[in-house]
Amino acid sequence: MNGRLLAASVVAGLLVFAAALSAAEIPLDQRRSSYEDMSRDNKAMQDDDTTNPAMLFVLDGEALWNAKAGASGKSCADCHGDAATSMKGVAARYPAFDGGNGQPVNLEQRINISREQDQKSPPLAYESRELLALTAYIAMQSRGEPIAQFDDPRLKPFLEKGSAMFHQRQGQLNLSCAQCHDDNWGKSLAGNIIPQAHPTGYPIYRLEWQNLGSLQRRLRNCMTGIRAEPYPLGAPEYVDLELFLMWRARGMTMDAPGVRP
């Protein structure tokens, strides 16, 4: 098969895949961020950087961005410069395919890859204040940016895995993500509105946690809630699911770091 035919075949395959996924998803014009379902007070907390508790992590993240680390003695800023410019839109494109690993990595994993390879420094622990802070600082640079289309053909098999996981019934309650977030969004569950599960604001400061947390922490909470065995943080299953969730939110506006109930 020559190059043009191969390219055409890849594009055709992606179009068929996208059509199959789109058939069961929420119509694009009906999508809404969970921000829209919050109370007026919670929206005001997120909108004002002086009251948004996630901004304390952002300040720590800025300090870490500029701090030299590891055997290389380099900071993130030494390579990437001003984050407001170099990181603009970056969080909206993750998870992204990593050629070294042959699979997608999320933003937290990309930070740790850079720490290990470029700074010659140990990786930061999942859900540690340092990793959450750096992630929040980088994610904030994508405020107002549209989430990517995720049309890299190398992502196709991982999107398929994420879609399968989203629609798979799991746990003792025998529930899937789609049953809540596609079929019953907007309804009330235990006094809370069921969101559509578009990850526009991660990492988020969740009032229930009284802390900042990653999307994977939220996914683990959901799995525990349906009485399913959660995967360890950083598991490829979570990254595939993150990728699918971001694909569902393609074109929506980033509002990280968010506040949620």
Q: Over the stretch 173-224, which tens digit does the pLDDT of each residue have?
A: 999 999 999 999 999 888 889 999 999 999 999 999 999 999 999 999 999 9
Q: Which residues are catalytically annotated?
A: 222
Average pLDDT over residues 152-163: 98
Average pLDDT over residues 45-62: 98
Strands (E), the chain: 96-98, 103-105, 188-189, 192-193, 204-206, 211-213, 258-260
Residue 190: predicted pLDDT: 83
Residue with tokens 């043009």: 4
Give whole-number Cα distances, 214 to 8, 10, 35, 49, 139, in Å: 37, 33, 16, 19, 11
Give Cα 246 to chain centroid, integer Å. 6
Q: How confident is the model at residue 25 (pLDDT cuts 50, 70, 90)?
A: confident
Residue 189: predicted pLDDT: 86
Q: Answer whether residue 96 shows pLDDT above 60.
A: yes
User: Mean pLDDT, the chain, as a whole number?
Assistant: 92
Q: How confident is the model at residue 26 (pLDDT cuts 50, 70, 90)?
A: very high
Residue with tokens 């850079």: 114
Q: Answer whether residue 139 shows pLDDT above 70.
A: yes
Residue 2: predicted pLDDT: 53
Of 17 and 156, more confident: 156
Give whole-number Cα distances, 86 to 47, 146, 163, 179, 180, in Å: 24, 16, 31, 39, 37
Residue 24: predicted pLDDT: 61
Q: Answer whether residue 21 shows pLDDT above 70.
A: no
Average pLDDT over residues 130-157: 98
Residue count of the chain, please give it.
261
Average pLDDT over residues 236-249: 98
Packed helices 215-225 and 236-248: angle between N→C axes, nearest 10 degrees: 100
Q: Answer whether residue 66 shows pLDDT above 60.
A: yes
Share of the chain above pLDDT 90, in %: 89
Average pLDDT over residues 68-78: 97
Q: How confident is the model at residue 4 (pLDDT cuts 50, 70, 90)?
A: low
Enter the pTM of the model.
0.89
